[in-house]
Amino acid sequence: MVGPTASLSTLNRADGSASYKCPATGYDVLGAVNGPIELPARRDALKPEDATVEVFVKPGNTTAGVGERYVEGILRSVLGKVILGRERGFPRRGVVITLAIVGGDAVERGDSYLTILPALLHTSLLALLSAAVPLSMTFSATLLGVTKSGEIMPDLSAADAKTAVSRHVLAFSSKNHLLLNESEGRFDFNTWEQVRERALSICQELTMPGSDGDVAMGDESDGSKVDGFVRETVEDRLRRDYTWKIDS
């Protein structure tokens, strides 16, 4: 299985940006982050001690509709908790995250948005890292489906997701907290527990940092180490940005 591909700081004008492509679902998302910026008319925000997090999702072929409002709400609540909005310079200001769905199937009216949610979460995380917005933790998300026979399927494609009996999106923080769970379909709690275990092992960083600071690569290089993937992407970018220093 081919892992996801991503690159950081692809846009010049934004404070931070990232593009992310998920091979299983085929979604290609471009994200930009601006922050901290002065938001107009937010002086008397409800929470003056915290930063306002705004998320905008733009679908590939139409203008944003009700479905996008819904997914924006979910993203805002997840990211608002992860972003340290009380750091110096952030209170009363805004962090604006814009996510454009560049490639992949169009999400139709009334679709649940579960298939694209991991891609949106990963893109926004990478873009936030690229913009150097202070975060309390990183996270990783995955989409799992349960078939009629009770088998848990990772790497769901959009077509698989339609036939699955239940679909689950879970996001775990780098400290193994369950940050987000969105499940739909018909299932019982025991199934969900198995799904959670499986999702945790996918999301967990399988690449454990060695004692000398190197990354010890295990045999499990099957592209399922999502958290390790976030780290690698950032490391790659840093290595490229600091070539002048490393080479000298």
Partner 1 sequence: MVSAATVAPAAPQSLSLPPPQFARLQPHAYLLAHLSPPVASNQPSARANGRAPSQFRVTSANSGSLTHTNGSGMVRLGDTTAVCGVRAELLHTEDIPSWSVSQSSNANKRRRLADSIKLSGQSGDHEETEAEVEEDRAHIEDLNLLVPNLSLSTGCAPGFLPGAPPAALTQALSHKILSLLHSTRLVRAEDLRVWYQPPNLGPEELERHNDEEHMDVDADEAESKPAEIKAFWVLYIDIMIISLAGNPFDAAWMSVLTALRDTKLPKAWWDVDNETILCSDSIAESRKLSLRGLPIPSSFGVFEADAAAGWRAVVIPDGEKLKAEEKKGTVQKWILADPDGYEEGLSQERACIIVDKEQNGKTVIVSMEKHGGWTVDTEDLRQLVDISARRWDEMKQIMDQC
Binding stretches for partner 1 (CB under 8 A): 49, 65-67, 69-70, 72-74, 77-78, 80-81, 84, 86-87, 108-113, 134, 136-137, 173, 175-189, 192-193, 196
From residue 101, how far is each of 58, 120, 122, 246 by CA, in Å?
A: 6, 8, 13, 36
Shortest distance (Å) from residue 247 CB to partner 1: 36
Shortest distance (Å) from residue 164 CB to partner 1: 11
Shortest distance (Å) from residue 131 CB to partner 1: 18
Shortest distance (Å) from residue 9 CB to partner 1: 25
DSSP secondary structure, 118-168, as one string: HHHHHHHHHHHHHTT--BS--EEEEEEEE-TTS-EESS--HHHHHHSSEEE
For partner 1, the closer CB: 147 or 221: 147
List, in sequence order, every residue forming a beta bridge with 28; answer none if it has no partner.
Answer: 21, 103
Looking up tokens 């139709």 gives 108
Shortest distance (Å) from residue 80 CB to partner 1: 7
- Which tokens in the block code for residue 42? 């937010």
Please count the CA atoms within 13 angstroms of the CA of 31 that sit on its side-chain side. Answer: 32
**CA pair distance 236, 124, nearest whole angstrom:** 18
For partner 1, the closer CB: 18 or 117: 117
Shortest distance (Å) from residue 70 CB to partner 1: 4
Please count the CA atoms within 13 angstroms of the CA of 155 that sit on its side-chain side. Answer: 11
For partner 1, the closer CB: 17 or 166: 166
For partner 1, the closer CB: 6 or 55: 55
For partner 1, the closer CB: 43 or 186: 186
**CA pair distance 198, 29, nearest whole angstrom:** 25
Radius of gyration of the chain (CA): 18
For partner 1, the closer CB: 188 or 219: 188
- Which tokens in the block code for residue 114? 């579960």
